[in-house]
A and B are shown apart, each in its own frame.
Chain A
Amino acid sequence: MSPSMQRVFAWSGVAYVTMVFGGALMAGLIPPISPHATAAQIASFWASHTNLKRVGIVILVAGSGVQVPFGALIAVRVRRMEGRETPLTYVAVAAIALQVMSLLFPAMVYAAASFRPERNPEITQALNDLAWLPFVMNWEAAALQAGALGLAVFGQRGREVFPRWSGYYNLWTAFLYSAGGFVVMFKTGVFAWNGLLAFWFVAVVFGSWFSITTWLLLKTVTSDDTVTSDDAVTSNDEGSLAR
Chain B
Amino acid sequence: MTAPATTDTGRIPGEVGIWVFVLGDMSVFALFFSTFAYSQARDGSDFTRAQKQLELPFGLLNTVLLLTSSLFVAIAVHRVLQGDPRRVRQLFVGALACGLCFLGVKALEWGQLFADGRSAGGTGGEGEMFNYYFMFTGIHALHVVIGCIVLSRLIALDPAQPRTDNQKVLVESGGIFWHMVDLLWVVLFALFYLTR
Contacts and interface: CB of A to CB of B under 8 A. Distances in A.
Nearest to A185: B121
A188 B16 CA distance: 39
A80 to B, nearest CB: 16
B123 interface: yes
Given A186-B131, A187-B123, A189-B128, A176 B20 contact: no
B149 interface: no
A189 B39 CA distance: 9
Interface SS majority for chain B: helix
Interface in A156-181: 160, 164-165, 167-169, 171-172, 176
Interface in A131-175: 160, 164-165, 167-169, 171-172
B35 A196 contact: yes
A182 B128 CA distance: 14
A196 B128 CA distance: 14
Contacts of A185: 120-121
A168 B121 CA distance: 32
A197 B38 CA distance: 13
B114 interface: no
Contacts of B128: 188-189
B141 to A, nearest CB: 13
Contacts of B32: 197
B21 A160 contact: no
A191 interface: yes
A169 B35 contact: no
B4 interface: no
B18 interface: yes
B21 A171 contact: yes
A213 B53 CA distance: 45
Given A186-B120, A197-B32, A191 B21 contact: no
Contacts of B190: none
B28 A164 contact: no
Nearest to B119: A185
Contacts of B121: 185-187
B1 A165 contact: no
Interface string B37-50: 00100000000000
A206 B144 CA distance: 25
B41 to A, nearest CB: 14
Contact of A169 (B24, B123, B131): B24
B2 A164 contact: yes
B108 interface: no
A172 B20 contact: yes
B178 to A, nearest CB: 16
B15 interface: yes
A201 B132 CA distance: 16
Contact of A176 (B1, B2, B28, B123): B28
Contacts of B2: 164
Interface of A: 160, 164-165, 167-169, 171-172, 176, 182, 185-191, 196-197, 201
List of 4 A-B pairs having minimum Cβ-Cβ separation, nearest first: A165-B17, A168-B21, A168-B17, A185-B121
21 contacts: A160-B1, A164-B2, A164-B16, A164-B17, A165-B20, A168-B17, A168-B24, A169-B21, A172-B20, A172-B21, A176-B28, A182-B135, A185-B120, A185-B121, A186-B131, A189-B128, A189-B131, A189-B132, A191-B131, A197-B35, A201-B31
